[in-house]
Amino acid sequence: MLRLVPGVETEFVDRDRALGQVVEWAERSTRFPVVVFGPEGCGKSAFLRQAAEALGEFGYDVVYVDAAHRDFAAYTYVAEVARRLLDAASDVSSLAQLKLAYLAVDLAKELIGRWGKKKVAVLVDEVFQAVGLDKTGIYVKSLLNLIEYPPRSYEKIVAIAVTSEGVTREEIGRHLWAELRPMWNMPREGFRQLYDKIPGPKPPFEEAWRWTGGNPRMLGRLYENG
């Protein structure tokens, strides 16, 4: 379940194609790191959290990091992974986001090399803000190196990053180190599913649709602001 607004949780609705893509990646790995881009609030972070959970169900050891919010999840029996992520997220210095960003890649390497895991996934949300525009290409290359030059043989690797920044996408697109995938706001019927889940008084659907353009985050803000 995903939190839309305080007190309202919902399933990841109307993203069957997106979740179907996760199943494909789980079955065959990602040949290159996948960078998902799109407007703020369109559901990229929700997609990534759902993808992390789904990959865990497919038997992957998963490291998920949201650097901007110092959040993380570890779907693995290796307790040290969660402990080290917690230590980095608890850092009160200005370097916490940067540490989380690079730790995600390091832990994925260790899951393969040190702990001998055969199916590993690393999913990172808005890490490019943390590492800086001038380092985004290098960060993506580190994900590619994980795929191409692992510390030990593996069965499958899935590497996904999401970003809202157009300049970041341009920088990444200069190289052939990643596969770029767009994600946009929701279509009308999918947006209606979210609208119907919000309780209490609310504007007519057509007005909500016109005001938000199908953006889930903007729907939540409308609700929170009455």
Q: Which helix (H) or strand (E) holds 115?
A: none
Single-letter amino acid, residue 1: M
pLDDT (0 to 100) of residue 42: 75
Residue spans per domain, the chain: 15-182, 188-224
Res 12 pLDDT > 90: no
Give 159-189 as a DSSP string. EEEEE--HHHHHHHHTSSS-EEEE--PPPHH
Tokens matching residue 30 = 């990602």
Reported as a single tens digit per residue, the pLDDT across 97-110 is: 999 999 999 999 99
Res 32 pLDDT > 90: yes
pLDDT (0 to 100) of residue 45: 86
CATH of the domain spanning 15-182: 3.40.50.300
Is pLDDT larger for residue 48 or for residue 164? 48
Read off the pTM.
0.81
Average pLDDT over residues 78-102: 93
Count of positions (residues) in the chain: 226
Reported as a single tens digit per residue, the pLDDT across 42-75 is: 778 888 998 999 999 999 999 999 998 899 999 9
